[in-house]
Amino acid sequence: MAQDYRLMIDLVMNHVSSKSPWFKGFLEGDKRYRDYFIVSDNKIEMPEVFRPRETPLFTGFNTAMGKKYVWTTFSADQVDLNYKNPEVLLEIVDVFLFYLSQGAEIIRLDAVGYIWKEAHTRCVNLSKTHQIVKLLRRILEYVAPYALILTEANFPYKDNISYFGEGHEANMVYQFSLPPLVLDAFARHDTGHIQEETNKTRQDLLFFDFLASHDGIGLSGARGILDDKELLTLVEMAKAHGGLISYELKDGTEVPYELNISYFDAVNDPGQASDPLAVKRFIASQAVMLALKGVPGIYIHSLLGSRNYYRGVRETGIKRMINREKIPVDVIDRTLSDVRSLRHQVFSGYLHLLNVRKKISSFHPAGTREVLNIDKRLLTIVRQYRGKAVRVVINVSKDIIFLPEYQGNFDLISCKAFEGKVPPYGVFFLTTNIKDPSETGPCNKDIPNRSVSGLFEEKEIAL
């Protein structure tokens, strides 16, 4: 597979399955695994420990040594590893090297902030955690200098970007603030927070930009950017749109941690399913991610326009199943072939946007970006790379906004001259250099001559 694709492989560092050979060995009394886990003879309460769950920190297991309680940060079936045992670190380094030997070019460090535990601390983002990330980076630079480390640390912005270190830890970091900030922009028809945070971010930092994943829409990354009232607005909007809320315990109090909802339903009210702007609004939200500097990560259910999957929640009792539907291939084929279906309209619009974007060199992750504060209802970003530039204009409101100063620019999405107005939820990639074939490459005949703004007009959506 590595011969045909650039692979990102997930290295789950914090925990293993309770059904894994390592933990089974521990349960059976195998001395090798005795210190692989954090174990107590009694059930311990440690309220100072930060964790995005309401479940007990220690889970009881029957072992060959009797009843033991084992540290489980996330759930009873995910058992935390004990990095104070050097053998555990060596085992993980061995897995790290194995992934690289199989052709991985990006190693994603899952839940990395939780790996080191110290008594009387919050047990997240501790200095020894950063030292372990530095160690992996040194190994990477020696054996696979072409590869990258990506840290997945769902914490407030300052803690998240701390994994860049001084340039000796992660090469790339998840942009956890982005999903709630984009949702906030569409909820309030105001891109102010995105503009401000983008302008504050150093140009040399590389982010993995995403809006949705197999988890929910985390709120931690936006704390300190959005105030409590704005966060509560997102929580209430998610509920109104049929979503669920997951909580964390903070000083003994439940605090909203995650919105469990499909991103399509997060930006659109399911009660207004026939809204002709629904698909355009969703595509515009995704265009924000594609416009920002970084590497975009697209969740399959966003690409397919999936809705809230309540059956999965009912059958499992797991809130995150609302955005984890397993769809039979024949169902996908059938709905994507139906031009009236929601999936077809989302997929075709998204795919067109991606096909255009990948032909524009200005979007290169090593390029630069400049946010223009023209109108709070617009996100206007100039992306540049090696002397070439594209101006992205995205309307996060249902208003028509006039931009006469850009009239006559060439839109690389519709392959037409920009008429000076941005329709509701309109998306434009504008250039002024229409005589340079390398600047107008997306408008070659192999790309359909259609616009994201006009793809879905006057069509009834079959849900």
Q: Which of 110, 159, 190, 399 is catalytic?
A: 110
Helix/strand/coil (H/E/C) assignment for every residue in 264-321: HHHHCCHHHCCCCCHHHHHHHHHHHHHHCCCEEECCHHHHCCCCCCHHHHHHHCCHHH
Q: How far apart are CA 172 and CA 208, in angstroms?
A: 6
User: Is 110 marked active-site?
Assistant: yes
Q: What is the DSSP letter of 167?
A: T
Separation of alpha carbons 92 and 15, rounded Å: 11
Report the alpha-carbon distance of residue 238 to residue 183 in Å, rounded.
10
Region for residue 305 given its phi and psi (left: phi exceeds 0; alpha: psi -120 to 50; beta: otherwise): left
Residue labelled with tokens 């997945």: 152
Six-digit token string for 287 = 């265009």
Residues 6+ apart with CB under 8 A from 400: 421, 422, 423, 424
Asked if residue 48 lies in contact with residue 120, where contact means CB atoms within 8 angstroms, the answer is: yes
Q: Distance between the two ends of the chain, CA-based, in angstroms?
A: 35
Tokens 């309220």 map to which residue?
47
Encoded tokens for 173: 């970091």
Active site (catalytic) residues:
110
